[in-house]
């Protein structure tokens, strides 16, 4: 077990933007932005302060992805399991989301960012849904970066919903079971039209997927760091991409 941790967390030399531009970049990066609460606790701050600091990090990472020319970024903002957290923290997260949209929308539009949400947003507060719908509408024509935000999202729920939708079409006689294939299934996922993630980043030292993009991550390269999300800097993203570029992606075949 110790060797496993050393493999992922060993100290590495500083990687720069120039280092990673020498090889192809991952077109789609997925991130679990973990560690906001622990970051705040270590500083003697309320958990909400950690989430606010995490929002600042997200701004930086989005700008870095734009600078690098990465076309897709998916971030795990609120899971179906996060409802189990204290009501005060859930409410704070919702208000922070609204604040982030209000504060960043103009700049996101200006930078060519398209906002897309995945998950069951119908269960979110009405004013949050309104902000989300407006942000998606305002940025619908942008193409420089698709910022896919997972809200009230669960990978198992996504798969279950896809199965239900396909089953309804079969029951109605609009789809024959023999015609169901991988493409059919993927067209019924929340992420329809978006390519699978190439690189999956998780901060704060946890080594699990936590119900995030389960179907889509079948052949995604995983990268973990002990750095808490509020402390995650462009240099950490460069390191993740650099490590990704050194791996051989065989997708079950031979190089």
Its CATH architecture, for the domain 25-155+196-244, is: 3-Layer(aba) Sandwich (3.40)
Q: Which residues are catalytic?
A: 34, 82
Whether pLDDT at 251 is above 90: no
Whether pLDDT at 22 is above 90: no
User: β-pairing, 199-202 with 221-224?
Assistant: parallel
The count of residues in the chain is: 255
End-to-end Cα, the chain, rounded Å: 29
Q: What are phi and psi of 117, to 5 degrees?
A: -105, 145
pLDDT given for residue 208 in this prediction: 96
Query: Edge to edge, what strands does the sheet with 221-224 contain?
Result: 113-118, 145-153, 72-79, 28-32, 199-202, 221-224
Give the confidence band of 6 by pLDDT, cuts at 50, 70, 90.
Answer: low
Q: What distances in angstroms separate CA 125 from CA 48, 84, 108, 151, 254, one per listed residue?
A: 18, 16, 23, 12, 49
> What pLDDT digit, counting tens, does each position of 133-180 carry?
999 999 999 999 999 999 999 999 999 999 999 999 999 999 999 999
Can you tell me the mean pLDDT for 177-196?
97
pTM of the complete model beyond 0.95: no
> What pLDDT digit, counting tens, does each position of 40-80 carry?
999 999 999 999 999 999 999 999 999 999 999 999 999 99
User: What residues contact residue 23 under an 8 Å CB cut-off, 6+ apart?
Assistant: 245
Domain ranges of the chain: 25-155+196-244
Please tell me the distance from the alpha carbon of residue 118 to that of residue 189, in angstroms, as a whole number: 9
């Amino acid at each position: 077990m110790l060797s496993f941790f050393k493999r992922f967390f060993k100290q590495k030399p500083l990687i720069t933007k120039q280092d990673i531009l020498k090889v192809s970049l991952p077109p789609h990066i997925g991130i679990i932005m973990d560690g906001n609460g622990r970051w705040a606790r270590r500083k003697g701050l309320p958990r909400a302060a950690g989430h606010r600091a995490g929002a600042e990090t997200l701004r930086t990472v989005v700008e870095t992805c734009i600078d690098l020319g990465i076309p897709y970024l998916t971030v795990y903002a609120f899971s179906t399991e996060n409802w189990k957290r204290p009501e005060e923290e859930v409410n704070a997260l919702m208000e922070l989301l609204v604040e982030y949209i209000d504060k960043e929308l103009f700049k996101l539009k200006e930078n060519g960012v398209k906002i897309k949400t995945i998950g069951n947003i119908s269960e979110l507060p009405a004013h949050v849904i309104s902000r989300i719908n407006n942000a998606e509408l305002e940025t619908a024509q942008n193409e420089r970066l698709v910022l896919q935000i997972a809200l009230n999202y669960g990978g198992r729920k996504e798969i279950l919903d896809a199965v239900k939708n396909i089953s309804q079409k079969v029951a109605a006689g609009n789809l024959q079971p023999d015609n169901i294939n991988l493409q059919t299934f993927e067209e019924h996922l929340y992420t329809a039209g978006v390519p699978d993630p190439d690189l999956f980043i998780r901060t704060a030292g946890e080594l699990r997927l936590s119900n995030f993009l389960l179907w889509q991550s079948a052949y995604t390269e995983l990268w973990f760091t002990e750095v808490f999300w509020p402390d995650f800097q462009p240099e950490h993203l460069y390191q993740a991409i650099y490590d990704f570029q050194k791996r051989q992606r065989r997708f079950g075949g031979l190089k």
